Structure 1
Amino acid sequence: MIYKIIVLDLDGTLTNEKKEITPRTKEALIKAQEQGLKVVLASGRPTYGITALAEELELPRFEGYILAFNGGRIIDCKNNKVVFEQTLDQNLVPKLYYSSREAGLEILTYKGEGIIATKKTDQYVQIEASINKMKVEEASDFLQQIEYPINKCLIVGAPTPLHQLELQLAEQLKGKIDIYRSADYFLECVPVGIDKATSLNRLITELHIQSEEIIACGDNYNDLSMINFAGLGVAMANAPSEIQKQANYVTYSNEEEGVAHVVEKFILDQK
């Protein structure tokens, strides 16, 4: 099979624990793009938190794409244009806010090139800020200080209470909003029908590419849809066992340059 697109999750997949792309991984992806492969970066991160990595991999030059907010926004890196966008129903945000506060958890969203959160110093808010290299504004009145439209809210906190809230909100808001975790301490709240596979399907339809011609690499539950959708669904060795079981192939961990291994094995070595 000649693969035409590789779709890469970022945290725990493309980047190492330092949130960096290793020289070997970068070299493999540049070589693959020179051979015609399109690279798509697909993440729960906001667009601003992905752009630097896209530029490092020269996606503007090679006409790659960004799938931000778990697929809620698709960006064509060639011209920085929004190809697709779906925003969160603002009438549902108060429910997310009050539920998170009652559970003793923090909530955040994105405002321009920054984050607006209920508590700036919360350790999990700071993790999100560090990942995306974004400044945090602490809201004295979160609901009033949001600038709509927004693509998602992120509820953050310790895994056990967060999982309990996930079950509660998934039941209460079924059919109105999609709820899932992108990390043990991150609960994604996105528009209904938004996931990486759905947005990827929109993109490849425009590009006249078949799902069988896609490699998708990921390590967490929000990657599962695209791993199942792709012709070659790849799980990282650091992914939970449930995800590894559903993948076509399990590569090395993100600390062992698993993405580089996939590109070398299935793209570069085939030439």
Structure 2
Amino acid sequence: MTADIRLLVLDIDGTLAGESNQINAPVLEAIGQVQQRGIAVAIATGRMYQSALRFHQLVGSALPLMAYQGAFIKDPKTQKLHRHTPLPRQLALEILTYLAPMEANNDLSVHLYIDDQLHVRTIIDDTEAYAQRSGIHPIAAGDLAMLLNNNVAIETTKLLTLSNNLDLLSDILSHLGQRYPTEDLYLTRSVEYFVEATHPLAHKGEAVRFLAEDLLGLAPDQVMAIGDNYNDLEMLRYAGIGVAMGDAPEPVKQGADWVAPGVDADGVAAALREFLL
């Protein structure tokens, strides 16, 4: 039992929701009990804002929603955009240029997120599957570099590379990580077939710090965070209690204070019973 936790931050995919894309009743019940004890609940996700809204509403969060790894923090109730840290234009163009030959060979697809809309070169099966799970409508925009070059006001919230070739994604992650230092670009994998690129301050650790300290006046040891993948590591390390799901990669488990059962075993509910209920 940890009495001083005032903020609970939850990831969505692999944490709140598994393959079903739904939150199981025991998890919702445990979250409700936590809120009854006066602990605020927030969502921090790599998902688009519009895709994450349903989960934000399901858990009854009264706080701003941290989407796109924290690059986009907006309050659904007031519609106030608290923070938007887009990927610098030149970096986005350089990454698009690097990925272009691979995309032309149909080795991968590139997702560009602009104004909370998904832009792709063309809509393929992978895009359709992603859009269906996310509940969004992708825009076939053709040449994405040309899109950016022709619209100087466009701000790219996030760039995502999707591929079933996991070795290729590992090579891309390695290449970009060597080319761009962490102070210039944040790179992560939220699931094994994604590589995601955002502004260097657009990660969940910084987003949770901003929400906790700047908006709520809390200290890190008053925060509990639960996540399941590499993009959750920063917030798990920031929080006073960082919980990794049982399905998490080993380095994520090692970066956590406690490991819960997997998402299909309602690991969030187990973690809340362990520490807060």
Shared fold (TM-score greater than 0.5)?
yes
Q: TM-score w.r.t. structure 1 length? A: 0.91
Other-structure match for 1:129: 131
Q: Could you tell me how far 1:130 is from its partner in structure 2?
A: 2.6
- Partner amino acid for 2:50? Y
CA displacement, residues 216-240 of structure 1 (integer Å, 9 cap, x when unaligned) = 1111001011111111110100001
Q: TM-score w.r.t. structure 2 length? A: 0.89
Other-structure match for 2:67: 68
Mind listing any 5+ residue stretches in structure 1 that lack a counterpart? Answer: none
Structure 1 residue 167 corresponds to structure 2 residue 174: yes
Query: 1:237, 1:253 within 8 Å by CA — same for their partners in 2?
Result: yes
Which aligned pairs between 1:13-92 and structure 2 lie closer than 5 A? 13-59=15-61, 63-92=62-91
Q: Could you tell me how far 1:111 is from its partner in structure 2?
A: 4.1
Other-structure match for 1:120: 123
- Partner amino acid for 1:208? G
Other-structure match for 1:184: 192
- For this pair of structures, how many residues does the alignment match? 264
Other-structure match for 2:201: 193
> Secondary structure, in 3 states, of the residue corresponding to 1:109?
strand
Q: Which has the larger displacement, 205-214 or 259-268?
A: 259-268
> Secondary structure, in 3 states, of the residue corresponding to 1:182?
coil
Q: Could you tell me how far 1:180 is from its partner in structure 2?
A: 1.8
Query: 2:177, 2:187 within 8 Å by CA — same for their partners in 1?
Result: yes
Other-structure match for 2:160: 154
Structure 2 CA distance for aligned equivalents of residues 111 and 134 of structure 1: 13
Segments of 4+ in structure 1 off by > 6 A? none
Other-structure match for 1:100: 99
Structure 2 CA distance for aligned equivalents of residues 73 and 112 of structure 1: 10
The Cα RMSD (Å) is 1.7
Choose the corresponding residue for 2:272, options 260, 263, 269: 263
Mind listing any 5+ residue stretches in structure 2 that lack a counterpart? Answer: none
Q: Could you tell me how far 1:113 is from its partner in structure 2?
A: 5.3
- Partner amino acid for 2:48? P
- Partner amino acid for 2:171? Q
Structure 2 CA distance for aligned equivalents of residues 166 and 257 of structure 1: 31
Structure 2 CA distance for aligned equivalents of residues 127 and 37 of structure 1: 36
Structure 1 CA distance for aligned equivalents of residues 111 and 230 of structure 2: 20
Percent of pairs with identical residues = 25
Query: 2:120, 2:142 within 8 Å by CA — same for their partners in 1?
Result: no
Structure 1 CA distance for aligned equivalents of residues 89 and 257 of structure 2: 38
Q: Could you tell me how far 1:54 is from its partner in structure 2?
A: 0.9
Structure 2 CA distance for aligned equivalents of residues 47 and 113 of structure 1: 7
- Partner amino acid for 1:19? N
